[in-house]
A and B are shown apart, each in its own frame.
Chain A
Amino acid sequence: MTNSWTDIRNTDLVVIMGGNAAEAHPCGFKWVTEAKANRGAKLIVVDPRYTRSASVADYYAPIRQGSDIAFLLGVIKYCIDNDKVQWDYVNAFTNAAYLVKEGFTYQDGLFTGYDAEKREYDRATWDYQIGEDGYVLMDETLQDPRCVWNLLKEHIAIYTPEMVERICGTPKDKFLKVAEMISECSTPTKTMTSMYALGWTQHSKGSQNIRSMAMLQLILGNIGVRGGGMNALRGHSNIQGLTDIGLMSNLIPGYLNIPTEREVDYATYIGSRGFKPLRPNQVSYWQNYPKFFISFMKAMWGSAATPQNEFAYHYLPKLDLPAYDVLRAFEMMDQGQMHGYFCQGFNPLLSFPDRGKITRSLSKLKYLVVMDPLETETARFWENHGEFNDVDSASIQTEVYQLPTSCFAEDEGALVNSGRWLQWHWPAQNLPGEAKHDTWIMAQIHLRLKKLYQEEGGKFADPILNLHWPYADPGEPTADEIARELNGYAVETLRDPNDPTKVLVEAGQQVPGFAALRDDGSTAAGCWIYSGCYNQNGNNMARRDNSDPDATGAYLNWAFSWPANRRILYNRASADLDGKAWDPERKLIEWDGEKWAGYDVPDIPPTSNPREVGPFIMNPEGQSRLFSRGMMRDGPFPAHYEPFESPVVNVVAPAIRGNPVARVFESDRESFGDADEFPYAATSYRLTEHFHYWTKHVWVNAVLQPEFFVEISEALAEEKGIEKGGWCRVWNKRGSVHAKAVVTKRIQTLMCDGKPVHIVGIPLHWGFTGAAKNGMGPNSLTPFVGDANIETPEFKAFLVNIEPSNGPATA
């Protein structure tokens, strides 16, 4: 989220698209109802299904899953054609005026530089024209045909309301109504907020779905303002935290990168990360990269990280591939290239696409370790449960360890919500049975592995032997100790550079925030963006002062929000070029002539002149990007591509299947199906009564939604002779599931490119453990395809067939 849950009360228009907040985030959705009550805000829901969110919406429009980009580019076109643009914002805060390199083009659904062999683009031409002074060339009059604004207009020209209807199946009048309501938010005094979730991410072009809306929000001037922003609802309680702390193949905490093997030494690595400003006076905050990186290395390897060994640069693994994400990991298992796997509170057997392949892959492991407070299907993937897990135990050689862990009720520590709040919590009960805290388990694994290397030696043990382990009880580090480590501390006494007699932080003391971090090894910080969460003032994540002056929804003294306790990102953009709030009613921060001040922590250096310093300090431009240069693998502008399995061909570029640079493994291609064989457009989703595969263990939730079902329209039920509440079978090349049929008016047949498209909705909460009835899930049917940029599986759009049937062979 750029903003926070509580900020949503400040909005005038809520657009829920690519998500279902009421269903998946009811208590966050409260703030939508608050906005309605406080500001008479309106709610628009655009979704293939008439969802629980739609049930309280002011306006609902249907859309075919996987066609969001066409819809959104259509809205952008509507706004531009009707001059519904917040021009001052666009001119001041976006790269609309930047000139793009000659040679960059878009044709037949492809941008310049496509390599069909590698399924990759050469992104050389996807960039700005740079002048002699090293700064970008721009045309503030927006006349130059090569300026971003004109290229954008040209790029979206095809997305007329008629084209939108043809692609999305959204009736033209409904689309126009939505576009018209959205376009009204182009005035400085009206803001719109976008609430989205996996409905946008789980596509082979998920990142571009989100970019499309981000671009629209920039054009309407809704980023950085109260009641605006791009708000990813996020699924799990600390998924934000785990991403912040970089538990991903290619990340270092705080969104730094694991080096690739091309970066042969520290100099090369850091050299490619200069982040020189592209315009005068810009902050380009990533210029501080070395400070954050080296402070991290000090937190990892302490005294073993020295200037002499490039702060242990080579202790880090170097990547030969962009990422070893989960899809690749399971592909490797399937190819016999991976022998061991750890699942920490994770249930891949039900979470990842193409369950058949997941079972096959796990069966090829030597060992599998599952840490969880609850039973998981993954821990029992080798156990036969008839139709619900049809395996031959004897033929599976994997050794499986199941370790009982603590759950929230026994844990202490911080979780990061989607509004980036780090909130501390306290244990309420003791561990049941022999369950242990995850921290204890991870410490034990490290210490015992270290012991083996000490005793036996082995391959490059230094990173293990020298891992910094500064805990009172090495066997069980406390949450408090680790929280301090994340915040960062002075390794040596820090003195004021301008006045060496002045001590800023004594050695061993907590640093006040990331501004204090240094690149000379004198500071250590586990995750720079968290710096300030546990400083000289104590544990700020545990703050519980819920006062909120002038009811802005900021709650500055409640817990801690990264970065620097900032509640709304890019908040400088809430004020115009003179530093005055776009909307006096919704003042956030303002320039008083000398400094920035207001209800939030300014996003730019407090004394930076509003006319000089741009709000988007993480970009070398200081401005936001309507044209994203080479930052994304599949194009600087979003373009409509069909899902890999689509009921209709791509009318924009008929030759192209799916996203041309999406993650696809050759071995999975034959498992894709076509519309003639599998005519129905399926989608997967959560239900409000359940949380993933956890709550089927909770009898109350099992009572509220007991049994696996699929949802279809009355028309399809009629056509297939499927009865409401009767059994049906849904299948494609990857699998087949039996489910109860919920026949509903909430799913309607859409007309796309002249043909009717029936939608099959498949919720995902059932398995073969827990209190709920045994059942299957969508991942028995979903394709093994990933988003081009972040490899998110395409769970939201695939093809199936359906027929009436008997119940499962074994119930």
Chain B
Amino acid sequence: MTINVNPPVAADTTMQMGPQDYIRRSASSVPAPARQLEPVAKLIDVSKCIGCKACQSACLEWNDLREEVGVNTGVYDNPHDLTPNTFTLMRFTEWVNPETDNLEWLIRKDGCMHCADPGCLKACPAPGAIVQYSNGVVDFVKENCIGCGYCVKGCPFDIPRISKVDNRSYKCTLCSDRIAVGQGPACAKACPTKAIVFGTKEEMKAHAAERIEDLKSRGYSNAGLYDPPGVGGTHVMYVLHHADKPSIYAGLPDDPRISPLVEAWKGVTKYAGLALMGFAAAAGFVHMAVSGRNRVTVEDDEEARRLAERAPGAAPLDPSKEPSA
């Protein structure tokens, strides 16, 4: 047989995804895309995850992120939170199952969920700073980001982080640059136990179903898929052994949705506000038209003069200044 030293890895490296595939664009509108990309998803099987942080490592390397070397604070979570340079983070929870009284080490890979209904995009005031592709990828376009931090308030999962260095917002891109050439995200590729897998959302749901069946056979009767409807479903999903209580996994929201406050702010306030201001201005013009300006009359001036002259300490009148009757 021939010895193949360097077989090709990614044959085709031309970008096959782009603005023509936007279905949403922050603070602006996009034409309906000519084609519909197959929805993709990253499935994170928490029950298979060994918390090795390969995903974090691969993410830092692929995205050329340079995080600071921190300190130990008595836990395995390092860095201690998502940062502009840490798009994904393993969160460790030592949980004693009240039913079995056994310790369970719950390890969840945190990062952008790529919501079908993205709160960040809804909140973003900068046109084109956040875009959503027809395959579900929600991406930040830093060139358009103004660093206002509205996306942070809009996100139901507390994901985006604003850089103090360049005042732009950062989060997991789902490796949009890899997906664009037909490869999966760096974290999914690296994951040693394939706790993170990537494919079409349909494939991922099917795979999740198998995993849930297996978990139930191993006694996890509440095993299930986390694809929260509150945000229209997500393109990053979890398989949880305790799907009945997501919040035990380092505060994964039980029922995430875009905050009503954000809805109010970006909804009624935005429109009612504009209307109100417009109305106020218009009212002025109408009033002016109807009642004309409020003018000072000659009588007013005379009254003023009389009052002034009769007042104590008034100077003797200068006849020459006496107005003619």
Contact = CB atoms under 8 A, between A and B. Distances in A.
Interface in B1-53: 1, 3-7, 47-53
A721 to B, nearest CB: 14
A724 B74 contact: yes
Contacts of B52: 22-23, 26, 52, 688-689
Contact of A30 (B5, B194, B214, B217): B194
Contact of B218 (A58, A705, A771): A58
Contact of B47 (A56, A704, A741, A772): A56
A242 interface: no
B94 A699 contact: no
B71 A773 contact: yes
B284 interface: no
A27 B79 contact: no
A746 B5 contact: no
A706 interface: yes
Contacts of A54: 105
Interface in B236-250: none
B9 to A, nearest CB: 13
B90 to A, nearest CB: 9
A704 B57 contact: yes
Contact of A52 (B50, B71, B102): B50
Interface stretch (B60-68, B132-140, B266-274, B295-303): B60-68
Most buried by B among A52, A704, A744: A704
Given A29-B192, A543-B3, A745-B94, A707 B71 contact: yes
Contacts of A704: 53, 56-57, 78
A449 interface: no
Contacts of A545: 1
A744 B51 CA distance: 16
B69 interface: yes
A426 B217 CA distance: 45
A55 B75 contact: no
Interface in A738-792: 740-746, 771-773
B70 interface: yes
B96 interface: yes
A709 interface: yes
Contact of B51 (A55, A723, A740, A745): A55
B209 interface: no
A606 interface: no
Given A26-B50, A539-B3, A703 B105 contact: no
B126 interface: no
B103 interface: yes
- Which one of A539, A703, A746 has the highest number of Cβ atoms from chain B below 10 Å of its Cβ? A703
A725 interface: yes
A40 B214 contact: yes
Interface residues of B, number: 45
Considering residues B60, B79, B192, which has the most beta carbons from chain A within 10 angstroms of its beta carbon? B192
Interface string A30-55: 10010011001000000000101111
B103 A50 contact: yes
A742 B50 contact: no
A699 B66 contact: yes
A40 B56 CA distance: 29
B324 interface: no
Nearest to A545: B1
B214 A37 contact: yes
A708 B67 CA distance: 19
A26 B3 CA distance: 28
Contacts of B6: 426
B72 A55 contact: no
B294 interface: no
B107 interface: yes
Contact of B72 (A29, A56, A725, A744): A725
B262 interface: no
B144 interface: no
A700 B86 CA distance: 11
B163 interface: no
Interface string B153-188: 000000000000000000000000000000000000
B141 interface: no
Contacts of A50: 103, 105
Contact of B69 (A36, A60, A772): A772
A56 B75 contact: no
A557 interface: yes
Contact of B5 (A426, A724, A773): A426
Contacts of A745: 94, 96, 103
A703 B60 contact: yes
Contacts of A742: 72, 74-76
A545 B78 CA distance: 39
Interface string B188-203: 0000111100000000
A773 B105 contact: no
Contact of A740 (B56, B72, B94, B214): B72
Contacts of B291: none
A544 interface: yes
Interface string A536-547: 001100111100
Contacts of B66: 699
Contacts of B3: 538-539, 542-544
Contacts of B102: 60
Contact of B53 (A30, A40, A689, A746): A689
A701 interface: yes
Nearest to A698: B57
B69 A699 contact: yes
B103 A705 contact: no
B146 interface: no
A22 B49 CA distance: 10
A775 to B, nearest CB: 9
B218 A23 contact: no
A426 B69 CA distance: 32
B74 A36 contact: no
A220 interface: no
Given A688-B53, A703-B79, A741 B74 contact: yes
B57 A33 contact: no
B51 A706 contact: no
Nearest to B48: A33
B231 interface: no
A702 interface: yes
Please list the 6 inter-chain residue pairs (A to B) with the smallest Cβ-Cβ separation, ordered nearest first: A725-B74, A724-B74, A26-B192, A55-B105, A707-B72, A22-B50
28 contacts: A23-B50, A26-B192, A27-B192, A33-B193, A40-B217, A50-B105, A52-B105, A53-B50, A55-B50, A55-B107, A56-B50, A543-B1, A688-B51, A700-B61, A703-B69, A703-B79, A705-B72, A706-B69, A706-B70, A709-B72, A725-B72, A725-B73, A740-B73, A742-B72, A742-B76, A744-B94, A772-B69, A773-B69
Interface of B: 1, 3-7, 47-54, 56-57, 60-61, 66-76, 78-79, 94, 96, 102-105, 107, 192-195, 214, 217-218
Given A55-B51, A56-B50, 4 more contacts: A22-B52, A58-B218, A706-B72, A709-B74
